[in-house]
Chains A and B, each alone.
Chain A
Amino acid sequence: MSTYDWLLVFHLLAAFCLVSGSVVAGILHWLAMRRDRPSEIALLLGLVRPMVVVIGVGSLAALGFGIWLTQDDPDGISLTDGWVIAAIVLWFAAGALAGPAGKRLRHARELAERMAADGDGPSEALHDAVADRTALVLNYVSFAMVIAILVLMVFKPGAG
């Protein structure tokens, strides 16, 4: 395997960390929204924590290896191609939206942990925190941007 092949392997593995990690976080968040007991919500949101690391590492690695690939691409793909620039812009935008959403969910998890230690009774305030509309919208838009990056990577609009 050539250097380019290895770069492609690492780029793809990083993309799996980013996309699949985001899907896992979304599934666990959705499941947490459907529970009432704070201990169960804390448990499910707690499982999101390792995925945050996976998503972060995958996100940075996908960008880094992607840029590296453009330096050595046999098909002449360049960092200045329109679809590559669009993908990088979407990458920054997705990250900018996911950050605040993650902070809101961290507060929800911390609230759930406190309530779990304090009787573990259902709470409307906790339910509202877990189903925070702003966090949901930010996450949905951020994930849509990640899918848009994937579409650009596969279809490469404008590439020769």
Chain B
Amino acid sequence: MLAAIRPTDWNWLLFGHLLAAFALVAGVIVVILTSAAAMWSGRPQHAPLLRTIGFRANLVVVIPAFVAIHILGGLLADREFPGGTKEPSWLGASFAITTIATVVAVVLALLQYWTLRRARTGSVRGWQALTATCVPPVVLAALVAVIVLMAGKP
């Protein structure tokens, strides 16, 4: 169903794009779960471990997956809408949202590092921790919006 309207010779690109997207969403969910648990689980002794996992998930999974979906998505878009063809609005909106989300993920990594350093010294609360906990769900919501745009092509 996923490839219902694409020619078969693009399938490898689409498959790679989808794998990167699945990994991206998984990475963001790991960041959400660990950040929320670090903030609200009531076990501050585990906050450094959870913040470390969230930080590494962002660095190792989320940001590389954002880069991968940009590259593979761009290649797919170039084939579907070759030079001179006007891109549809859903594609432009998807690229814009994804680009903003990528920048947010990079800024989030810096914030996560700060939060992790504070957690290791015993400070598990504060605006840094709260922001590092509340931003990942926003990134996930943006990704859901992109999935709707990509699948529905309104």
Could you list which residues of chain A lie within 8 angstroms of chain B, going by C-beta atoms? 1, 5-6, 8-9, 11-13, 15-16, 19-21, 23-24, 27-28, 31, 39-40, 43, 47, 50-51, 66, 69, 73-75, 77, 150-151, 153-156
Q: Is the CB of B46 within 8 A of A43?
A: yes
B21-53: CB near A (< 8 Å → 1, else 0) gives: 111011001100110010001010010011001
Q: Is the CB of B49 within 8 A of A12?
A: no
- Asked if B141 lies at the interface with its beta carbon under 8 angstroms from chain A, I say no
Q: Is the CB of A75 within 8 A of B37?
A: no
Residue of B nearest to A10 (CB): B151
Residue with the greatest number of chain A CB neighbours at <10 A, chosen from B14, B18, B49, B152:
B152
Residues of B within 8 A of A154 (CB): 2-3, 11, 14-15, 18
Do A8 and B1 contact each other (CB < 8 Å), given the known contacts A13-B147, A24-B30, A50-B33?
A: yes
29 contacts between A and B (CB under 8 A): A1-B153, A5-B151, A5-B152, A8-B151, A9-B148, A11-B2, A12-B2, A12-B147, A13-B144, A20-B25, A21-B29, A23-B22, A23-B26, A27-B26, A27-B30, A28-B30, A28-B33, A39-B46, A40-B46, A43-B43, A43-B46, A47-B33, A51-B29, A69-B1, A77-B1, A150-B19, A154-B11, A154-B14, A156-B8
A1 to B149 CA separation, bound complex (whole angstroms):
10
Within the complex, what minimum Cβ distance (angstroms) separates A75 from chain B? 6
A20 to B1 CA separation, bound complex (whole angstroms):
18
- Asked if B124 lies at the interface with its beta carbon under 8 angstroms from chain A, I say no
Q: Is the CB of B2 within 8 A of A15?
A: yes
A11 to B3 CA separation, bound complex (whole angstroms):
12
Residue of A nearest to B4 (CB): A75
Residue with the greatest number of chain B CB neighbours at <10 A, chosen from A20, A21, A154, A155:
A154
Residue of A nearest to B33 (CB): A47
Q: Is the CB of B153 within 8 A of A155?
A: no
Within the complex, what minimum Cβ distance (angstroms) separates B67 from chain A? 18
Q: Is the CB of B41 within 8 A of A43?
A: yes
Do A8 and B53 contact each other (CB < 8 Å), given the known contacts A20-B25, A43-B37?
A: no
Residues of B within 8 A of A9 (CB): 147-148, 151-152
- Asked if B88 lies at the interface with its beta carbon under 8 angstroms from chain A, I say no
Residues of A within 8 A of B41 (CB): 43
The 9 closest A-B pairs by CB, nearest first: A23-B26, A20-B25, A20-B26, A12-B151, A9-B151, A19-B22, A5-B152, A9-B152, A154-B3
A7 to B8 CA separation, bound complex (whole angstroms):
22
B5-21: CB near A (< 8 Å → 1, else 0) gives: 10010010011001101
